[in-house]
Amino acid sequence: MYKVIIAALSLSLLVACGEEKEKGNLEITGNIKGLKKGKLYIQKVEDTTLVALDSIILNGQSSFKSNINIDSPEMLYLYVDRGVTNSIDNNLLFFAEPGKINIDTDLEFFLANAKVTGSKNNDLYTDYKNIISKFNDQQLEYVKDELMALKNKKDISAENSKKQDALLKRRYLYAANYALTHADKEVAPYIALTDIYDMNIKYLDTIQKSMSPEVAKSKYGQKFTKFLKDRKVNEATETKK
């Protein structure tokens, strides 16, 4: 009888542990083609440091699953530990939000072939980055033009500088408009904090005031509000000097 009770208690503990592991408001599933053995980490940035939220050991299968808790939508990283390798293609950034997210990719082109589904914020951020990459490509073209001009002993620096300034202005205005258009999603304050934090305060103020109540209470919403408040104070102090 004693052994039966011990066995029952052990089973209850195992079930409880299993249920505990399944708890969480975010379920991340996925598949990494070509990776049969290794370790994955779900990470987030905390005080400028990457902190692991979960680790998954792969042994014979390329699929994975993780259950974690997040207070509100935020950027996370899926890091693959390849062991001894020189590859820098190891850390996939994705905009997580409560619910179910799936990540499919392959080991050879871990970042380039990644497909993330289940997160509206991630969809919006991906669309945004695709447009921003076009601005970056144009910037590189201007740099190439100037280098070629120097090679041919021509001075186009003044003209090129005007083009680059105009391009930068268009990029900032695009980012601000995108954040304003999607002020009901956490991607808005994230873009404001990371890409246009030094923009004219009137634009940032408009974005901040346009955030939905839910977004304003989120991690990035609160950070953006505090950042904007501090910047206003600092600029007011500088004006008085």
Q: Are 40 and 55 in contact (CB under 8 A)?
A: yes
- pLDDT > 60? residue 21: no
* Percent of the chain residues topping a pLDDT of 90: 72
Domain check: are 199 and 126 in the same one?
A: yes
| CATH code for the domain in which residue 85 is found | 2.60.40.1120
Q: State how beta strands 99-106 and 26-33 pair.
A: parallel
- Please provide residue 67's backbone torsions phi and psi, each rounded to the nearest 5 degrees: -120, 120
Domain check: are 105 and 158 in the same one?
A: no
Q: Give the pLDDT score at 236.
A: 86
- pLDDT > 60? residue 26: yes
User: 114 falls in which pLDDT band (50, 70, 90)?
Assistant: very high
Domain check: are 131 and 66 in the same one?
A: no
**Tally of domains within the chain:** 2
From first CA to last CA, the distance across the chain in angstroms is 83
In which domain, by residue range, is 141 found? Answer: 122-234
| Final residue belonging to a domain, choices 70, 101, 117 | 117
Q: Return the percent helix, strand and coil in the chain, to nearest 5.
A: 50, 25, 25
In a domain, residue 216? The reply is yes
In a domain, residue 171? The reply is yes
3-state secondary structure of 21: helix
**Strands, DSSP E only, in the chain?**
26-33, 37-46, 49-59, 63-68, 74-81, 91-96, 99-106, 115-117
Domain check: are 78 and 130 in the same one?
A: no
User: 16 falls in which pLDDT band (50, 70, 90)?
Assistant: very low
Q: For residue 37, give the nearest of 64, 76, 18 by alpha carbon.
A: 64
The two structure tokens encoding residue 77: 């990283």
Q: Give the pLDDT score at 84.
A: 61
Count other Cβ atoms within 10 Å, centred on residue 146: 19
| Final residue belonging to a domain, choices 83, 117, 151 | 117
Domain check: are 103 and 134 in the same one?
A: no
The two structure tokens encoding residue 165: 């300034």
In a domain, residue 228? The reply is yes
Domain check: are 230 and 129 in the same one?
A: yes
| Final residue belonging to a domain, choices 117, 138, 164 | 117
Q: For residue 75, give the nearest of 235, 220, 198, 232 by alpha carbon.
A: 220
Look up residue 111 and give its DSSP letter: T
3-state secondary structure of 76: strand
User: 146 falls in which pLDDT band (50, 70, 90)?
Assistant: confident
In a domain, residue 134? The reply is yes
Domain check: are 36 and 109 in the same one?
A: yes
